[in-house]
Structure 1
C-alpha cells in the first residue's frame, strides 16, 4: 500500500478508538508532508536520511512509511486493524448492512475538528449513500454553535462540497438545542431551509422530571424537528467522565415522538450509548421510529455506526423502523411531508 494511505488509515482507526487528537494529527501531518512524492523518491529520501529530517515525519511515521514502501501492511496499522475487529451479532451485522446514511455529524464549523469535505470523503469510503451535516446551534457557545448568518454561509459551502462529491448525497442540517422553554435555538426561517433537524438538550441536564419532560415535549412538537438526539444526555465512559441520565417521563416523550413522527436517535458514540436498552424497548413498544447516527466529530468516528447497529440489533429494532435504512428520497419525504 502507498505510505500516505497507510498513514491516513492509521489516523482513521485512532479516531475511531477515541485516541488523543495529537496522536491522530501526527499521522495526518506526516501524510501531508509526503503527499505527492513517488515511491522511488521516498525510498531515496529514506536511504539518505532526508525523510527522517522532514518536518512532520516522526519516528513512528517513518517506520510506517518504510514498511509500506517494502510492500507490506505496516505493523502498527495491522495491530490497529486487529484490535478493531469486534464480535458482531448476526442481527447487528444485518442492520449495519441495511444502513444507508447518517443524520448526525459535526465539522470544524462547530466542535468537530475536520473540514466538511474530509467528513464527506470518509462517508464515501465507508459506503454511505448520504450524510447530514448537523453542526451545533448558537446557544451552545462552548461548541462554537452557528448563528443564522454562519449557517447561511455554511449552506453555500455545502453546494461546493456536493459538486465535488456527486456519489454521496450531502444533506444540510443542524443539531439544534432545545432551549429551557422548549423552543428550538434557531430561526424558523433558517430551519425551513434545512434537510434534517436533530433536536437535543445540552444544558440543565439535572433539571427535575416535570421540567425536563415539558422542555423535551416542546422540542418534539416543533414541526421542524425530525430526530430527538441523545435523549438522556448520559455518559457511560470516556475522557469526560460519567454522567447520569436525565430524569423525564420517557413514555410521554416517546408517545409524542410517535405522534409527531419524530425519530428517536440511537446515538452510536461509545461514551453515550444513548438511549439505554430499557428506553429503546419502551420507544419500540409505543411505535417510535429510530435513527442510528454516529454523532461523529472526526472522520474515523463515522465508523461508530456499527456500534449503534449492534445495539439496535440486540434490542430487536426492525430495519424498516430505522429511518437511516431508507433511501434518501423516502427519508426526505418523511422529513418534509408538506414539501
Structure 2
C-alpha cells in the first residue's frame, strides 16, 4: 500500500467517526509530507530509522509508513477500519443506487479540505459526481462566498474538471433563505450554477405562518433545485428544536415546482424527521439524499439517509442523485421539472 494513501485513509476513518480535528490534520499533514518525499526517500529513511526526522512525521505515522513500505496493511488502519464498520443493514439497496451527492462543502467556506480532496475521496467511494455547495455571503460565520468569490470558484471548477474527468464536480451553492424568502445571492449567478440548495440558517424560531411563507417563496424561485435540511433541527448534544411551518403546504410547493426535499444524512441532523419524510412521500415529492459533508470522511454518511429513506418508503426513482450527472442536469432543467 502506498504510505501516503494509508495515512489519508486513516484520516478519513478518524474524521468519519468524529475524532478530534487535530488528529485528522496530523495524518493528512503526514500524508502530504510522505507524498512529497517520495517512496525512495521514505525507504531510505525507514532503513536507518530516520522517518521521524521528517517534519510532521511522528512515532505513529512513522509506524504506518514503515508497515505500508513492507507491503502490510498498517495495524492502525486495520483497527480503525474494523471499528468503523457501519451497522447499516437497512438502506443498502438505495445506497448502491446513488451516483452522486448534491450537498458538499470545501475549505472555500466552512469545509475542512480543498475541493480536489473532496472529489478524490468521493471517487474512491464510488461516486460519479458531487455538487460543490459552499455557503452564501450572509453566513459570515461559515465564510460564505461573495459573488466575486463564487465566480472565482467557478473558474477553479472548470480547470479541476479537466483534470479529474470522468469524475465531475458540478457547480452549486447552499444559498441562505432570507427572512422574506429571497435568496442570498445574485439571481444571474444562481442561473449559472448546476444545482442550488436553499436552506434556512437564521431566525429558526420564526412564527409558523411566516416560516411557511418564507419557505414557499424560496421553493417557488426557479433557480432552487433542493430544499435543504428543512426543519433545521439538531438531535445530538444540547440539540435544537424543529422550526415550525405548515409541512403539507411547503412539500406541496416542492412537488409543484419540481424541487427535491433533502434527506440530510448528517448524524446530528437526520432531517426531516420520519413523520415529515413520510408526508413528503405521500405528496409525491422528489428527494435528494445528501451527506452535507464538510470533510472527506463525512461523504460516507449517505448510508444514514438511505436507511431512513427506505424505512419511509422512498424509492430509487424518487431520488434525484440516483442519476448520472447529465441526467440530473436534464431533470433540473425547466423542461425536466414539468
Q: What TM-score, normalized by structure 2, do the two folds share?
A: 0.95
Tell me, which stretches of 5 or more residues in structure 2 are unaligned?
A: none
Cα offset for 1:36? 4.5
Runs of 4+ off more than 4 Å: 36-40
Q: Which residue of 2 aligns with 1:268?
A: 265
Cα offset for 1:37? 4.2
Q: Which residue of 2 aligns with 1:259?
A: 256
Q: Which residue of 1 aligns with 2:245?
A: 248
Cα offset for 1:182? 0.6
Q: Which residue of 2 aligns with 1:198?
A: 197
Q: Is the 8 A contact 1:46 1:66 kept in 2?
A: yes
Q: Which residue of 1 aligns with 2:298?
A: 301
Q: Which residue of 2 aligns with 1:69?
A: 69
Cα offset for 1:49? 3.1
Cα offset for 1:180? 0.2
- 1:219-244 residue CA offsets vs partner (Å, 9 max, x unmatched): 11111111000001111125xx4111
- 1:244-274 residue CA offsets vs partner (Å, 9 max, x unmatched): 1111111111111111111000011111111
Q: Which residue of 1 aligns with 2:310?
A: 313
SS of 2:334 mapped into structure 1: coil
245-254 or 305-314: bigger deviation: 305-314
Aligned-partner Cα distance in 2 for 1:27–1:164: 25
Q: Which residue of 1 aligns with 2:52?
A: 52
Q: Is the 8 A contact 1:228 1:263 kept in 2?
A: yes
Q: Which residue of 1 aligns with 2:95?
A: 96
Aligned-partner Cα distance in 2 for 1:106–1:47: 41
- 1:258-292 residue CA offsets vs partner (Å, 9 max, x unmatched): 11111000011111111111111010011111000
Q: Which residue of 2 aligns with 1:110?
A: 109
Q: Does 1:282 align with 2:279?
A: yes
Q: What TM-score, normalized by structure 1, do the two folds share?
A: 0.95
Q: Which residue of 1 aligns with 2:9?
A: 9
Tell me, which stretches of 5 or more residues in structure 1 are unaligned?
A: none
Cα offset for 1:46? 2.6
SS of 1:171 mapped into structure 2: strand
SS of 1:183 mapped into structure 2: coil
Q: Which residue of 2 aligns with 1:222?
A: 221
Cα offset for 1:214? 1.2
Q: Is the 8 A contact 1:124 1:167 kept in 2?
A: no
Cα offset for 1:38? 5.2
Q: Which residue of 1 aligns with 2:326?
A: 329
Cα offset for 1:121? 1.3
SS of 1:35 mapped into structure 2: helix
Aligned-partner Cα distance in 2 for 1:115–1:88: 29
SS of 1:132 mapped into structure 2: strand
- 1:189-208 residue CA offsets vs partner (Å, 9 max, x unmatched): 11110110000000011122
Q: Which residue of 2 aligns with 1:166?
A: 165
Cα offset for 1:338? 4.8
SS of 2:131 mapped into structure 1: strand
193-202 or 143-152: bigger deviation: 143-152
Q: Does 1:207 align with 2:206?
A: yes
Cα offset for 1:39? 4.6
Q: Is the 8 A contact 1:265 1:293 kept in 2?
A: yes
Cα offset for 1:328? 2.1
Count residues in correspondence.
Answer: 336
Q: Is the 8 A contact 1:46 1:52 kept in 2?
A: no
40-49 or 20-29: bigger deviation: 40-49
SS of 1:79 mapped into structure 2: helix
Cα offset for 1:100? 0.7
Q: Is the 8 A contact 1:11 1:300 kept in 2?
A: yes
Cα offset for 1:88? 2.4
